[in-house]
Structure 1
Amino acid sequence: MKWYLDFGHGGKDSGAVSYNKTKESDTVLKIGILIKNNLEKNNEKVITTREKDLYYSLDYRTYKANKENCDYFISLHMNSSTNKSAKGVEVWVYDEKSKVYNLAKNICTNLSKDINTPNRGVKISKNFSVLRKTKMPSILIEIDFISNSTVENSLKDDTYIKTIANSISNSLLAFVNKSIVDDSFSYCVCIGKFKDKDTDLY
C-alpha cells in the first residue's frame, strides 16, 4: 500500500498559531513524521509533501500524490477557533460514499478516546482542494483545537504527541488489516549453570 501523508501548511504559511505562538505547521510535522515511521515499520510505502518546515502550494500537494499513484491521501491539521473553549477531533471527507468514510469515523472514535477529547465526527466538504483534486480516497484530519490552552499545553508533551501519532497510525494500519509494531520491549537473556534447578533467576 502507498500512503500520501500531507503535513498541513509549512514555511511562510504557519497555519493556525496558538496564544503562546505554537504553530500548526510545526505540530503536524512532528506528529506526521512519527506516523510515517510507524507505517514504514509495517512495510507500508509512504510519500510526504514535506519533512521540513517548507512551504508547498495546495496544487503541488495533490499533483505530487496523483503523480505518485498513491492509494490513500491523509492530510494532517490542527483546528482553531475564536471560541477558546472549542475542543475535539473531526475528520473531513469528500462525500459519504468515499471508500475512507469508515476510516474517518474510526480515526474520530479512536483519537477521541486516546487523547480524551470530544468526537466532533466526520464532516463532508467538496470545497477542500486536497479532497477535491486527489484521484485517490482522501481525508483531512483536524486533530484538535490549537486555540484551546489545554490542548496547546498538552502539545508540549512528547508522550502526548506520540499518543496522537500512534492512535492515527493504528487506525490507518487497521484499515489495511495490519497493526502497529511495538518496539518498546526489551529482552533479557540469562546464561549459566546452576546446581539447583529451582534457583531463582530474578
Structure 2
Amino acid sequence: MSDFIQVIDPGHGGYDPGATANGLREKDLTLKIALYTRDYIYELYEGVKVYLTREKDVFVSLSERAAFANRLNADHFCSIHINAGGGEGFESYIYRGSYSSKSKTQALRNVLHDTIVAETKFKNRGKKEADYAVLRETKMPAVLTENGFIDNKDDADFLKSDANLRKIALAHAHGLAKAHGWKPKANKKPSRPSVGGKVFYRVVAGSFVERENAERRVKELKAKGIESFIDEYRA
C-alpha cells in the first residue's frame, strides 16, 4: 500500500509578507507552524509522506502551490495562514464551488477544524467557504486554516510564543490524523510538547552574516559529536 501524501502550504513568503502587525509577519509564522506540523506528523504517524510548498522564506505563486500538489497527486492539501482585519480566533475554508469531492472535503475539514479549536482554545469563528486559488486549483480535497488574528493584541501575544506555534502545529497534526485515519506509531508522544509537561531549551552556538561561516561552525560541532543545524532568519 502506498504512503498517504499530505501537502502543507505555508502561506505567503519572500517579498510577500502577508499580514503584518504587532511586530509579527504572517509569512514567518506560517512557515514555523508548517515545519512543526511536518515534524509532528513524521514523529507520531506511520505511512505518511509530507511535502511543503516552501521550506524557507521564498515567494511561491498561488498557482504553483496548487500545481505542486497536483504533480505529486497528493491525497490532501492544507494551507496555513494567519488572519487580519480586526477579528479574533480561528476559522477554516474550503472551496465554495460545486465539485464531486465536496462532501468528502467538508467531512475532512470538519474534523481538522474541530480538533484545532479544541486543542488551541481559539475562539471558533466557524467553517466557511471561499473562492481561494489554492482551494479552487487543487485537484484533491483542500482546506485553508486561519490561525488567529495578527492585528488582535491577544491573538498576537499568543502567536509570539514558540510553544503556542507548536501547539497550533500539533493540533494540525492531530486533526489531519483523525480526519484521514493515520496509524499512530507505537508508544510515541510528541517531543518538546507545546504546553505543559517537560520543557526543552535550544542552545544557539553562533550567528553569522555569511552562510559559509555558519556551515563551517556546523562542521566543527559535528566533528565533536554535537548535532547541529542552520536556522535562517532575518534581523
Per the normalisation by structure 1, the TM-score is 0.83
How many positions carry a matched residue from both structures? 180
Q: Which residue of structure 1 aligns with residue 15 of structure 2?
A: 12
* Secondary structure in structure 1 of the residue aligned to 2:20: coil
The letter for the 2-side match of 1:182 is K
Task: Point out the structure with the larger helix share.
Answer: 2
Of 171-180 and 156-165, the range deviating more from structure 2:
171-180
Residue 109 (structure 1) aligned to one of 109, 114, 117 = 114
Q: Which residue of structure 1 aligns with residue 91 of structure 2?
A: 90
Query: How do 1:1-202 and structure 2 match up within 5 A?
Result: 1-18=4-21, 20-41=22-43, 42-43=45-46, 44-81=48-85, 83=86, 86-95=87-96, 97-125=102-130, 127-178=131-182, 179=184, 181-184=188-191
Contact 2:113–2:175 (CA<8 Å) still a contact in 1?
Answer: no
User: 2: CA distance between counterparts of 1:98 and 1:27?
Assistant: 30
Contact 2:108–2:180 (CA<8 Å) still a contact in 1?
Answer: no
User: 1: CA distance between counterparts of 2:158 and 2:95?
Assistant: 30
**1:104 Cα deviation from its structure 2 partner:** 1.7
Deviations 1:6-56 (A, max 9, x none): 1000010000001x2300000010011011112223231011111101101
Contact 1:105–1:121 (CA<8 Å) still a contact in 2?
Answer: no
Overall identity of the aligned pairs, in %: 34
User: 2: CA distance between counterparts of 1:98 and 1:141?
Assistant: 18
**1:94 Cα deviation from its structure 2 partner:** 1.4
**1:57 Cα deviation from its structure 2 partner:** 0.5
Contact 2:111–2:179 (CA<8 Å) still a contact in 1?
Answer: no
**1:151 Cα deviation from its structure 2 partner:** 1.2
Contact 2:112–2:179 (CA<8 Å) still a contact in 1?
Answer: no
Per the normalisation by structure 2, the TM-score is 0.72
Superposition RMSD in Å? 1.8
User: 1: CA distance between counterparts of 2:153 and 2:190?
Assistant: 32
The letter for the 1-side match of 2:177 is L
**1:88 Cα deviation from its structure 2 partner:** 1.4
Deviations 1:105-157 (A, max 9, x none): 223222222222211111112x2100111111110111111111111111121
User: 1: CA distance between counterparts of 2:62 and 2:117?
Assistant: 28
User: 1: CA distance between counterparts of 2:163 and 2:105?
Assistant: 28
The letter for the 2-side match of 1:3 is Q
